[in-house]
Amino acid sequence: MNAVNQGDVQYSTENGIATVEFYHPLSNSLPGKVLAKLANTITELGSNDEALVIIVHSAGERAFCAGASFDELVAIDDLEVGKVFFSGFANVINACRKCPKLIIGRVQGKAVGGGVGFASAFDYTMATKFASVKLSELAVGIGPFVVGPAVERKIGLSAMSQLAIDATEWQTAEWARAKGLYTEIFDTADEMDQAIQTLANKLCKSNPEAMRLLKQVFWEGTEHWDTLLAERAAMSGQLILSDFTKNAINSFKKK
pLDDT tens sequence for the chain (255 residues): 577 889 999 999 999 999 999 999 999 999 999 999 999 999 999 999 999 999 999 999 999 999 998 889 888 989 999 999 999 999 999 999 999 999 999 999 999 999 999 999 999 999 999 999 999 999 999 999 999 999 999 999 999 999 999 999 999 999 999 999 999 999 999 999 999 999 999 999 999 999 999 999 999 999 999 999 999 999 999 999 998 998 888 887 666
pTM metric for this prediction: 0.95
Tally of residues, the chain: 255
* Cα separations in angstroms, 31 against 75, 85, 98, 152, 207: 12, 8, 22, 24, 37
Domain chopping of the chain, boundaries? 3-189+223-253
Q: According to the CATH classification, is domain 3-189+223-253 in 3.10.310.50?
A: no
